[in-house]
Copies of this chain bind each other. A is one copy, B any other.
Amino acid sequence: MDEIAKRAGLSKGALYHYFDSKEALFEALIERSAGEIAAQGEAMVAAAGGADPAATLRQLLNFMCHALTDPKLFAAPRLILAEGLRYPRLAKFYRAHVIDVGMRALKQLLASGVEKGVFRRVEPRIGIRVFIGPVMASAFLLHIFEDPDAPPPGELADGIADILLNGLSVPQAEDAA
């Protein structure tokens, strides 16, 4: 809190004027950064209205990859990881304000793709994990392990989308000799 106060140009006491506790401050931070991102992602899916699910998926991936490249926007997930054991309520808050929102949107996107006949009918819980996981992994490698080899966000999003949509496997010729 000393450090936070100093960076905010306030005294520690003033911080407690605005937030009841460190936990409350963290919750506000989560809501204003990760919560915002999740809401924007949800809005993106809603705006697309199921018109072109593959394009929406690409757009969403692009958005997420760019967002999580920003250290400021990675602050919220990092917070959960660093302080989640000390403040267990924080993980619950994050789940309610970020994860549930994102999951709902992704489930919606996958379902509309299936409905349109462009996505295969995969188990939604797994589809969600396969969508969000690569973005997470990239963010961790970038911010926590300082991978010098990190691909730029646009390229990353395109590459993830390519594999997600088309698979790693080489398509088999189906009517060969």
A: residues with CB less than 8 A from B are: 54, 57, 78, 80-86, 91, 94-95, 99, 110, 113, 117-120, 122-123, 125-127, 129-130, 132-138, 140-141, 144-147, 149-151, 155-156, 159-160, 162-171, 174-175
Main secondary structure of the interface of A (DSSP, over half): helix
Contact A144 B91, CB 8 Å, known A120-B169, A123-B159, A134-B134: yes
In the complex, are the beta carbons of A166 and B167 less than 8 A apart? Answer: yes
In the complex, are the beta carbons of A130 and B171 less than 8 A apart? Answer: no
In the complex, are the beta carbons of A94 and B125 less than 8 A apart? Answer: no
- Complex interface: chain B residues within 8 A of A84 (CB): 81-82, 144
CA gap between A110 and B169 in the complex, in Å: 11
In the complex, are the beta carbons of B99 and A145 less than 8 A apart? Answer: yes
Contacts A82-B85, A94-B145, A136-B137 known; list 14 others, CB within 8 Å: A80-B144, A81-B140, A82-B82, A95-B147, A117-B170, A119-B169, A120-B167, A122-B163, A126-B151, A127-B163, A129-B138, A130-B159, A163-B167, A167-B169
